[in-house]
C-alpha cells in the first residue's frame, strides 16, 4: 500500500519555473535529457512516519506526486518490479526559499532530499534520515526573489548566498539593514543567515555539491549525445547510399552560347520544346533537339534502413514551415515523409513513387507544397487525382486514370520507375493520403 506523509508544517507551496540549464536550449531537442534508474537507498522519518528515499549517482531523493501545491511526500506507487526510471527536466521547483532541480519519474517526481533543508533540519540516524519540520524560520527573516533579498527583521542580518549563474562561488552581505533590499542578487540561493551574530539558518552544505554533480552528469550525457549525432551526420554525408541523380548530357550543336560537344546538366524540360541546362554558369534554355540525353539509369532496388534514411536527412540541416518534411529519393524512386519529433526528422511514411524520365526530369532542389488540385488532365483524355503542387507545373499526384476517373490507364507497376513528364506519381491510395495529410508550406527536397 502506498504511504503518504502530511507536510503542511514542513513544506511551503512549490513554484515551477521554465528555466533551461546548459549552454543552449537546442540540445534538449537534439539528444534529450539525462535519463536513468533510481535505486532504493534509505528510509526517511517524518513526524514518526516512515517513507523510502531513492538514490541516483550518490544523491538521495524523496518521491513527490503533486508538483503544484505539495502536501505529501509519498512512496513510489507499488508495481512489481517498481518503476524507478526518471529523466532530468529543464525546470526548477521552489521549496521555501530554495530553488532546486528535480528528476521526473513514474507518475511523480524525485526531489533532492537536501533541498528540504530550506524548511527543516535533516539528520542522519545510522543509515536513515530524520526530517524535523520545526525549524522553518527563514521565511520570517527574509523575502527572497529571483532578483533580490529583503530583510524582514528590524535588526541587520549577515547573509551568505550563491547564484544560479555560478553555484560554486559564494557571496556575502555583511550587514543588510532591517527593511532594506539587496538588489544585486541574480536568482539567489541562501546558504547561511546570521542575526545578532548567531547563525539562525544554514543550508545543508552538501546540496550544491550534489546539484553540481547532477549538472555535470547531464552535461556529459548531452555531450555524448551530440558527439554521436555529429558522427552520424558525418557518416551520412560521406555515404554512397543516396547519390544525387544528376543528368549529365551533351550538346549536339552550338546554340545559345553553348558549343557542340559541351557537357551540360539537364535541370528540367518542356517535352518536345526545350531543355533547361546548366554548364556551370547558370541555367540556359536550348532547343529540344540540341541535347543528347542519356537513357534512364537503373533504379536502386535495395531499400535503405530507417536509421540510414533519418541520419541522412537530418544531416542536411533542412527546415520546414510545418511539422513535416518530404524527400523524394530519385535514386530509389521513393518518397519519404518525415515528422519532427524532439527536434529530429523521424520517418513517418516510405512511399513508392514514379518520377520524371531523363528526357523530362523531375527538377532537383528544395521546394514547398503550394496548392491542392483535386484532379487535372480531363481535357487531354486522362485524369490524375489528388494533386499537390510543389513547383509550377510539377505536382505530386496519383497514377493516371481515364478521363472519368473510373479506371486506371496505367497499372501501379509503373511505380518505382522513371516514367513521368516530371511530376511525381503515387498509387491511388497513397496519393489520397498525401493529399489529405500534407499541409501547405511543407518543405520538399528532391535529390
Give the chain's domains with CATH numbers: 1-136+206-238 (no CATH), 145-199 (no CATH), 247-292 (2.30.30), 306-446 (2.40.440.10)
Nearest-angstrom CA–CA distance, 10 and 166: 29
Nearest-angstrom CA–CA distance, 438 and 7: 51
Cell of 233: 551526420
pLDDT surpassing 90 at residue 300 = yes
Confidence band (pLDDT; 50, 70, 90) for 29? Answer: low
Nearest-angstrom CA–CA distance, 206 and 442: 51
Give residue-wise pLDDT tens across range 236-245: 676 688 999 9
Q: How many residues does the chain have?
A: 447
- Ranges 19-23, 125-129, 144-148, 171-175, most confident: 171-175
Among 159-168, 314-323, 374-383, 409-418, the least confident range: 159-168
Confidence band (pLDDT; 50, 70, 90) for 73? Answer: low
More confident residue, 232 or 211: 211
Provide the 8-state DSSP code for 430: H
pLDDT surpassing 80 at residue 204 = no
Q: What integer best gives the mean pLDDT of the chain?
A: 83
Strand ranges across the sheet with 263-270: 283-287, 274-278, 263-270, 247-251, 291-292
Question: In the prediction, which pLDDT does 241 show?
Answer: 87
pLDDT surpassing 80 at residue 276 = yes
pLDDT surpassing 50 at residue 206 = yes
pLDDT surpassing 90 at residue 390 = yes
Question: In the prediction, which pLDDT does 427 show?
Answer: 96
Nearest-angstrom CA–CA distance, 384 and 375: 5
Average pLDDT estimate for 284-288: 97
Confidence band (pLDDT; 50, 70, 90) for 2? Answer: very low
pLDDT surpassing 70 at residue 106 = yes
Nearest-angstrom CA–CA distance, 438 and 436: 6
Whole-number percent of the chain with pLDDT over 90:
44
Confidence band (pLDDT; 50, 70, 90) for 137? Answer: low
- 441 and 321 in contact (C-beta within 8 Å)? yes
Question: In the prediction, which pLDDT does 347 show?
Answer: 95
Question: In the prediction, which pLDDT does 165 show?
Answer: 55
Cell of 378: 480531363
Question: In the prediction, which pLDDT does 164 show?
Answer: 63
Confidence band (pLDDT; 50, 70, 90) for 20? Answer: very low
Give residue-wise pLDDT tens across range 46-59: 767 788 888 998 89
CA distance readout (Å), 363 to 144, 145, 274, 286, 421: 62, 59, 14, 16, 11
Confidence band (pLDDT; 50, 70, 90) for 342? Answer: confident
Question: In the prediction, which pLDDT does 296 show?
Answer: 96
Amino acid at each position: 500500500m502506498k504511504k503518504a506523509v502530511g507536510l503542511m508544517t514542513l513544506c511551503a507551496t512549490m513554484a515551477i519555473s521554465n528555466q533551461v540549464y546548459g549552454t543552449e536550449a537546442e540540445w534538449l531537442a537534439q539528444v534529450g535529457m539525462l535519463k536513468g534508474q533510481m535505486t532504493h537507498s534509505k528510509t526517511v522519518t517524518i513526524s514518526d512516519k516512515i517513507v523510502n528515499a531513492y538514490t541516483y549517482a550518490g544523491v538521495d531523493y524523496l518521491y513527490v506526486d503533486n508538483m503544484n501545491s505539495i502536501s505529501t511526500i509519498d512512496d513510489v506507487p507499488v508495481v512489481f518490479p517498481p518503476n524507478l526510471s526518471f529523466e532530468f527536466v529543464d525546470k526548477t521547483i521552489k521549496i521555501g526559499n530554495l530553488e532546486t532541480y528535480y528528476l521526473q519519474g513514474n507518475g511523480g517526481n524525485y526531489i533532492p532530499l537536501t533541498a528540504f533543508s530550506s524548511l527543516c533540519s535533516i539528520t542522519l540516524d545510522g543509515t536513515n534520515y530524520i526530517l524535523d519540520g520545526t525549524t522553518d524560520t527563514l521565511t520570517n527573516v527574509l523575502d527572497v526573489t529571483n532578483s533580490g533579498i529583503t530583510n524582514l527583521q528590524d535588526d541587520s542580518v549577515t547573509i551568505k548566498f550563491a547564484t544560479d549563474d555560478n553555484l560554486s562561488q559564494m557571496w556575502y552581505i555583511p550587514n543588510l539593514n532591517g527593511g532594506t533590499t539587496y538588489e544585486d542578487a541574480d536568482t539567489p540561493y541562501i546558504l547561511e543567515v546570521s542575526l545578532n551574530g548567531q547563525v539562525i539558518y544554514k543550508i545543508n552544505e552538501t546540496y550544491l555539491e550534489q546539484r553540481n554533480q547532477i549538472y555535470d552528469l547531464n552535461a556529459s550525457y548531452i555531450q555524448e549525445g551530440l558527439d554521436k549525432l555529429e558522427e552520424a551526420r558525418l557518416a551520412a554525408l560521406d555515404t554512397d547510399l543516396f547519390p544525387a541523380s544528376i543528368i549529365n548530357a551533351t550538346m549536339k550543336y552550338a546554340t545559345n552560347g553553348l558549343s557542340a560537344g559541351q557537357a551540360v546538366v539537364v535541370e528540367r524540360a518542356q517535352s518536345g520544346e526545350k531543355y533547361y541546362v546548366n554548364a556551370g554558369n547558370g541555367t540556359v534554355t536550348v532547343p529540344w533537339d540540341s541535347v543528347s540525353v542519356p537513357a534512364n539509369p537503373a533504379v536502386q532496388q535495395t531499400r535503405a534502413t530507417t536509421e540510414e534514411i533519418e541520419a541522412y536527412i537530418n544531416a542536411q540541416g533542412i527546415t520546414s514551415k510545418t511539422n513535416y518534411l518530404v524527400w523524394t529519393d530519385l535514386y530509389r524512386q521513393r518518397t519519404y515523409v518525415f515528422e519532427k519529433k524532439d527536434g529530429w526528422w523521424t520517418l513517418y511514411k516510405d512511399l513508392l513513387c514514379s518520377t520524371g524520365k531523363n528526357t523530362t526530369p523531375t527538377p532537383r532542389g528544395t521546394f514547398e507544397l503550394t496548392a491542392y488540385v483535386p484532379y487535372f488532365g480531363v481535357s487531354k483524355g486522362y485524369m490524375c487525382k489528388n494533386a499537390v503542387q510543389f513547383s509550377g507545373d510539377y505536382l505530386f499526384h496519383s497514377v493516371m486514370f481515364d478521363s472519368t476517373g473510373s479506371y486506371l490507364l496505367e497499372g501501379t507497376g509503373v511505380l518505382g520507375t522513371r516514367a513521368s513528364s516530371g511530376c511525381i506519381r503515387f498509387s491511388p491510395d497513397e496519393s489520397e493520403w498525401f493529399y489529405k495529410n500534407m499541409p501547405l508550406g511543407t518543405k520538399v527536397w528532391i535529390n
